[in-house]
């Protein structure tokens, strides 16, 4: 279990943190995820990569944790998190730091868009693996990421950054 | 929405695959198709450059999130200890399957692991050479010592840490690399005697604060 934890816990934590946005909640989630793995080890059939299995469990637990919170409370926390963690896009542009503005806009995407961007770009998951983790058809995976990228472009445009696409 | 609007709003077949091409997670056949399209279509190639920027910033954003504290691991093992006694066979079966699945690592992960493995080889060579020079009459590697001695920790180093910095870190802490990398982390043995729990905790806290360390947690 320690080897499994050592190999995967940082990525599981980061995936959870991007979904729930609260460090303590994300830390609680990873112990829940690995406890589930401990309990369900015999059920893992090896049809998918271990990391895909772990991310699917993490997503389920993160969404359950989010559902337990009141919407209003969550919205306040989300807004606070955006304001507290980094510059807003306009400030970033003022600093002529496109990378920083891009990261700010990535953080402002909806939960559906954040998770698909992270799974493809950071967790290096294939179309099939994302479909398995999120529980949607493969074609929907492709179009959802396309729309996430379009939304990202809109946010950047609002911040005064044109990248030549779309 | 008209049919034309819908066509403009939906990605083309190849266009939809560009993010996975950038991440290196397409099949060989899909990669070939995308590369051929990129060579012929300047607009697609421009969009691909935008996607590569998105990918790089997404990786940076995630890497900046840091790592969980040791509290999560402690909490996990407290909860496992509280679980009813169970047969070991399911876990053994899982570990056997996990070994086979490591072959499914993505290209970037494999590349990183290969680079880290090379670093370990260089470090081990340096450590052995240092031991030979220092002791004259022979040398002793960490793996040949009594495994119960020393204080062990899983340690992750920053991706831009240099060989000199890591060597200086090992010398400063009288430490040696026992195994790794596993998920980018090494099992490192500190000193030759097992520390009391409180002292080990202080040591790990100090290691975590080191400028080239991204993660440290006590291990067996």
Residue B190 in contact with partner chain A when CB distance is under 8 A: no
> How many angstroms separate the CA of residue A165 from the nearest CA in chain B?
6
The closest alpha carbon to A11, from B198, B52, B184, belongs to B184
Domain count, chain B: 2
pLDDT score of B92: 47
User: Per the structure block, which two tokens stand in for B125?
Assistant: 């060579």
B182-203 residue pLDDT tens: 656 778 888 887 888 888 888 8
CA dihedral of B28, B31, B33, B34, whole degrees rounded to 10: 180
Q: Is residue A93 part of a domain?
A: yes
Tokens 């990786």 found at: B59
B46-74 residue pLDDT tens: 999 999 999 999 999 999 999 999 888 88
Residue B51 in contact with partner chain A when CB distance is under 8 A: yes
Which of residues A85, A107, A132 is at a domain's end?
A85
Question: Is residue A6 domain-shared with residue A79, that is, in the same domain?
Answer: yes
Q: Is residue B69 part of a domain?
A: no
Domain count, chain A: 2
Q: What is the DSSP letter of B153?
A: E
Q: What's the pTM value of the predicted model, to 2 decimals?
A: 0.60
Of A27, A121, A164, the CB nearest to B19: A121
Model ipTM value: 0.82
Which of residues A62, A85, A108 is at a domain's end?
A85
Question: Is residue B111 domain-shared with residue B200, that is, in the same domain?
Answer: yes
* Inter-chain touch B80–A38, beta carbons under 8 Å: yes
The pLDDT > 70 percentage for chain A reads 81
Question: Is residue A51 domain-shared with residue A98, that is, in the same domain?
Answer: no
Question: Is residue A111 domain-shared with residue A75, that is, in the same domain?
Answer: no
* Inter-chain touch B20–A8, beta carbons under 8 Å: no
A86-114 residue pLDDT tens: 555 555 554 457 888 999 999 999 999 99
A32-72 residue pLDDT tens: 999 999 888 777 766 778 899 999 999 999 999 988 865 54
Average pLDDT, chain A: 84
> How many angstroms separate the CA of residue B5 from the nearest CA in chain A?
14
Residue B88: pLDDT over 70: no
* Inter-chain touch A145–B19, beta carbons under 8 Å: yes
Percent of residues in chain A assigned helix, strand, coil, to nearest 5: 80, 0, 20
Tokens 């407290």 found at: B78
* Inter-chain touch A14–B46, beta carbons under 8 Å: no
pLDDT score of A79: 52
Which of residues A34, A55, A85 is at a domain's end?
A85
How many angstroms separate the CA atoms of B209 and B169, rounded?
A: 12
Identify the domain containing residue A120 by its residue range. 86-161
Sign of CA dihedral A46, A51, A57, A60: negative
Q: Is residue B68 part of a domain?
A: no
pLDDT score of A82: 47
Question: Is residue A4 domain-shared with residue A74, that is, in the same domain?
Answer: yes
Q: Is residue A9 part of a domain?
A: yes
Question: Is residue A57 domain-shared with residue A93, that is, in the same domain?
Answer: no
Residue B113 in contact with partner chain A when CB distance is under 8 A: no
Q: Is residue B29 part of a domain?
A: yes
């Amino acid at each position: 279990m320690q080897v499994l934890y050592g190999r995967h816990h940082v990525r599981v934590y980061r995936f959870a943190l991007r979904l729930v946005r609260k460090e303590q909640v994300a830390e609680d989630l990873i112990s829940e995820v690995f406890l589930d793995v401990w309990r369900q080890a015999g059920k893992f059939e090896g049809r998918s990569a271990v990391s895909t299995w772990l991310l699917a469990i993490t997503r389920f637990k993160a969404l359950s944790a989010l559902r337990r919170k009141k919407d209003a409370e969550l919205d306040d926390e989300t807004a606070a998190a955006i304001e507290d963690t980094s510059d807003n896009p306009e400030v970033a542009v003022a600093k002529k730091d496109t990378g920083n503005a891009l990261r700010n806009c990535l953080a402002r995407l909806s939960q559906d868009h954040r998770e698909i961007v992270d799974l493809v770009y950071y967790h290096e998951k294939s179309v099939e693996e994302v479909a398995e983790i999120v529980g949607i058809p493969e074609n929907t995976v492709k179009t959802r990421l396309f729309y996430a990228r379009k939304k990202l472009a809109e946010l950047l445009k609002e911040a005064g950054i044109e990248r030549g696409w779309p | 929405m008209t049919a034309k609007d819908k066509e403009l709003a939906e990605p083309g077949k190849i266009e939809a695959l560009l993010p996975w091409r950038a991440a290196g997670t397409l099949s060989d056949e899909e990669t070939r198709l995308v590369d051929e399209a990129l060579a012929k279509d300047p607009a697609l190639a421009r969009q691909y450059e935008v996607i590569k920027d998105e990918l790089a910033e997404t990786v940076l954003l995630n890497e900046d999130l840091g790592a969980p504290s040791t509290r999560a691991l402690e909490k996990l093992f407290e909860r496992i200890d509280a679980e009813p006694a169970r047969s070991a066979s399911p876990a053994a079966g899982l570990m056997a399957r996990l070994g086979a699945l490591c072959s499914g690592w993505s290209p970037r992960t494999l590349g990183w692991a290969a680079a880290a493995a090379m670093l370990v080889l260089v470090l081990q060579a340096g450590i052995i050479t240092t031991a030979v020079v220092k002791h004259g009459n022979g040398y002793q590697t960490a793996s040949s010592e009594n495994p119960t001695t020393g204080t062990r920790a899983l340690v992750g180093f920053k991706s831009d840490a240099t060989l000199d910095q890591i060597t200086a870190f090992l010398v400063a802490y009288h430490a040696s690399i026992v195994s790794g990398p596993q998920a980018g982390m090494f099992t490192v043995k500190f000193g030759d005697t097992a520390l009391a729990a409180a002292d080990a905790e202080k040591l790990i806290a100090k290691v975590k604060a080191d400028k080239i360390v991204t993660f440290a947690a006590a291990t067996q």
